[in-house]
Structure 1
Amino acid sequence: MTQLPVSVHFGLPDGWEPVPVEETAFAAVHSETAGIMLTGGLWPVAMPLRAVAGEAVAELRTTAEVDTLSGEEIGDDGFVQELRFTIDGETLVRSEVYLAMGRVEGRRAVVRAALTCTRGEFGAVAGDFRSFVASLGPDLQR
């Protein structure tokens, strides 16, 4: 498990089971193919979240065919993108939300929440993911 650049709080919807996954700060699964993960890092303050998301797409492209289906700014501190990719012959969809959560060491702290699942599962778990993202925020107590 890796650390996020900031401390966060969130609520995990019913039916999701936390699991340890390397290179993530948090991960949970709902089925064999539906999972939520949290990752994050520090980027230059001037770097748009769209560019941060583009770096994640470029990294995913090293192991999969990736189509970016959409990308949209959410105010000044958020970006959401929808991806479709194929790994080992299976097509998956991913919804990613990037949230800027302050500055650390002169750089912007960004947390990424991602839902990955099959196209068929998306309708059943998308609401859970929206609830998860809505509950996500900086932990100001620490």
Structure 2
Amino acid sequence: MTQLPVSVHFDLPEGWEPVATEDAAFAAIRSDTAGIMLTGGVWPRSVPLRTVAAEAAQDLREIAAEVTVLSGDDIGADGFVQELRFSTGDETFVRSEVYLAMGEGAEQRAVVRAVLTCTPGEFEAVAPDFREFVGSLGPDDQVLSAGGGGRSRR
């Protein structure tokens, strides 16, 4: 399990089960192909969230056969949402990524990334759960930390 740069709280919607992973601070699944995860890092305040999202899309291109950024929009002053489609093997997936700037640092800020990955056919069914999850996500404090973490109020 990786650590988040800030401590956060969230509510996990019904039907999602937490799973252990080395790749995220938190992960949950609803099916073999629908999952939510939380990751994060610290970036200079001068780096726009749009750039952080573009870096994540580039990272995905290193492991996926085909990656298309479908949209990207600012959400308020401290958020960005990005929608992607990608293929691995014979399967196509959609991914919704929400980037939230949290924490107060002089020259840098913590960014928490919430990610929903699923098949295109599952998207309409699981997207409302993801919106609920993201809506419940918030910092426990506004101080950047070396460890951080997350806890569910489920």
TM-score after normalising by structure 2: 0.89
Q: State whether structure 2 residue 37 is matched by structure 1 residue 37.
A: yes
**Paired residue total:** 142
Deviates more, 1:79-88 or 1:105-114: 105-114
For residues 37 and 78 of structure 1, what CA distance do their matches in structure 2 show?
17
Instruction: Report how far residue 88 of structure 1 moved.
Output: 1.3
Assess if the C-alpha contact under 8 Å between 1:5 and 1:104 holds in 2: no
Q: Equivalent residue for 1:136?
A: 137
Contact 2:103–2:141 (8 Å) recurs in 1: no
For 2:122 and 2:6, locate their aligned partners in 1 and report how far apart those are by CA, in whole Å: 31
Kindly report the root-mean-square deviation, in angstroms, between the aligned alpha carbons of the 2 structures.
1.4
- Given that residues 78 and 100 in structure 2 are in contact (C-alpha distance below 8 angstroms), is that contact kept between their aligned partners in structure 1? yes
**Paired amino acid for 2:32:** E
- Tell me the SS of whatever aligns to 2:115: strand
Task: Tell me if 1:79 matches 2:85.
Answer: no
Q: What CA distance in whole angstroms lies between the structure 2 residues aligned with 1:37 and 1:54?
A: 18
Deviations 1:75-94 (A, max 9, x none): 11000010000011100000
Asked if 1 retains the 8 angstrom alpha-carbon contact of 2:4 and 2:41, the reply is yes
Q: Deviations over 1:23-63 (max 9, x none)?
A: 20000000000000000000010100000000100000001
**2:140 alignment partner AA:** D
Kindly indicate whether structure 1 or structure 2 has the higher relative contact order, using CA contacts under 8 Å at least 6 residues apart.
2
The sequence identity of aligned pairs, in percent, is 70
Structure 1 residue runs of 5 or longer lacking an equivalent are none
Normalized against structure 1, the TM-score is what?
0.96
Asked whether the 8 Å contact 1:98–1:112 carries over to 2, the reply is yes
Mapping 1:41-120, distance limit 5 Å: 41-64=41-64, 65-104=66-105, 106-120=107-121
The alpha-carbon distance between structure 1 residues 4 and 104, as it changes in their structure 2 partners (threshold 3 A), is farther
CA deviation profile, 1:70-128 (whole Å, cap 9, x unmatched): 00001110000100000111000000000000234741100000000000000000000
Structure 1 distance, partners of 2:127, 2:92, is 17
The answer as to whether partners of 1:96 and 1:113 remain within 8 angstroms in 2 is: yes
Distance 1:141 1:49, change over 3 A: closer
